[in-house]
Amino acid sequence: MLESSGDVEPPKDKKVFVKTYGCQMNVYDSQRMADALAADGYGITDDIEDADLVLLNTCHIREKAAEKVYSELGRIRQLKHERARRGRETVVGVAGCVAQAEGQEILRRASAVDLVIGPQTYHRLPAVVERARAGEKIVETEYALEDKFEHLPAPERNAVRSRGVTAFLTVQEGCDKFCTFCVVPYTRGAEVSRPVAQIVAEAERLAQSGVREVTLLGQNVNAWHGEGPDGREWGLGRLLFRLAEIPGIDRLRYTTSHPRDMNDELIAAHRDLPALMPYLHLPVQAGSDRILKAMNRRHTAADYLRLIERIRTARPDIAMSGDFIVGFPGESEADFEETMKIVRDVTYAQAFSFKYSPRPGTPGAEMGDQVEEAAKNERLQRLQALLTEQQRAFAQSLAGTEISLLLEKPGRLEGQLVGRSPWLQPVIVDENAGRIGDIVSVRITHAGSNSLFGEPMNPATGLKTAAEGARV
Ligand code: SAH
Ligand code: SF4
Ligand code: F3S
């Protein structure tokens, strides 16, 4: 094993290529796996042909997502042969939710695979890779008794710096809700919350590396309830207040939330905490009470609308985002109209919508009355047209207003920078707006199809926030 000393990069004799599918939690996990492997002497490569270790961090949420993995593994098999001909060994690993759901089956279906590792055992990854390099085929999908977060190395200072000014931080994992369409309770297991001290320490490290915006992650993030330093149980609202105290952390977000877990304390955080961005992803999935019941969402459409009203009273400029499923078993045309209605009632700034995909082992897959593909397609099209219209209208409504912008990275064109609005939209500005890591005021000039365009209120220097940025 190679030792790292201070800021000196350890010599990298082996290389790992990581491909990530699925949700933000997988993005976070991929980084932590890369950190664990870096501590073991692996450098990161973007070139799969150059990799001694290929890791696919997979998603099982819909059939398409899972099947993508197998077609990629077919290509990787070729690559492994070609490298072997050149005398180079390649270890191939499958991590993530397909690994957890299918385990041994992956080794059977894809001969190129050497190791299969589930999300609860990532801290064992370096050891598992070593065994695979020695020729063993390994499936590691037991839920570990030890806390994986305690055992994963802290993100390297420099590694974080190179990752930019925004970061994800997993605070909660797994789900106890068992919506009848969803595999997550099976792939990620029961809900586990990380304790406050662990989360604060990680956020402080991120802040020291120049991160200014942290997004707390959980499959059910607002169900988070962790042990506080006072020995009491804290909820997410209280945690957000604590994280906002960390010098350097100026923006907070959290995702994904369940309507059942939006409690008063969390709504109060939206009212009282300026660092908490006025943007909330709160999936409702469907608008018909009959379908919501069959989905086991355990709330009605009216409950959801009342909740949104309370949130908007607390934070009038909040923009909503959501997820929708069309064609859940038994969904009639009238049920679907209820989904269109709830979308019109709420008005979303952004949303994701999917055709229902029956997943093995979930109750939904066993239900009679599966909806025809043609009806699913047609409903999805109608829903997406409405959601796109709302998204555009929201973007256009910002034209002429002044917003705060966290500058994140260079734009695609020379002389441009890209940042994020409080509502998570990309905003393109001239590079004289400030430096990466600054939070600046810009006036939105117009909305493009995927991004907004802004001009600095205070170009070059002189902004308080730009001066703060010097710290970064
Ligand atoms: N925990 C979140 C959702 C996680 S999965 C919540 O409770 O809302 C992300 C999204 O994928 C879901 O919101 C849902 O819209 C979609 N999804 C999950 N299972 C699906 C399935 N079987 N078919 C189609 N879409 C699905
Ligand atoms: Fe899946 Fe429902 Fe849990 Fe969300 S709350 S992860 S949709 S089971
Ligand atoms: Fe997919 Fe697993 Fe995330 S199934 S959506 S990667 S929790």
- Cβ–ligand 2 distance for 315 under 6 Å, the answer no
pLDDT at 210 over 70: yes
Q: How many residues does the chain have?
A: 472
Instruction: Choose one of 19, 24, 26, 183 to mutate for the ligand 3 pocket test, by most ligand atoms within 8 angstroms of C-beta.
Output: 26
- Cβ–ligand 2 distance for 225 under 6 Å, the answer no
DSSP-derived pairing of the beta strands 91-95 and 115-117:
parallel
Q: Are 425 and 401 in contact (CB under 8 A)?
A: no
Query: Closest Cα partner for 276 from 205, 216, 202?
Result: 216
Instruction: Choose one of 258, 282, 297, 325 to mutate for the ligand 1 pocket test, by most ligand atoms within 8 angstroms of C-beta.
Output: 325
Token code pair at residue 125: 């990854």
Instruction: Choose one of 28, 69, 97, 117 to mutate for the ligand 3 pocket test, by most ligand atoms within 8 angstroms of C-beta.
Output: 97
Q: If you average pLDDT over residues 151-158, what whole number do you get? A: 64
Rounded Cα gap, residues 202 and 200, in angstroms: 5
Give the model confidence (pLDDT) of 250-305 as tens digits: 999 999 999 999 999 999 999 999 999 999 999 999 999 999 999 999 999 999 99
Q: Global pTM?
A: 0.92
Give the model confidence (pLDDT) of 389-406 as tens digits: 999 999 999 999 999 999
Residues flanking ligand 3, CB < 6 Å: 22-23, 25-26, 59-61, 96-97, 183-184, 187-188, 219
Give 149's pLDDT tier (boundaries 50, 70, 90): confident
Q: If you average pLDDT over residues 302-323, what whole number do you get? A: 98
What is the position in ligand 1's atom list of the atom closest to the CA of 179? 7
State the DSSP string of 53-73.
Answer: EEEEEE--SSHHHHHHHHHHH
> What's the pLDDT at 411?
94
- Cβ–ligand 2 distance for 359 under 6 Å, the answer no
Q: Chain-wide mean pLDDT for the chain? A: 92
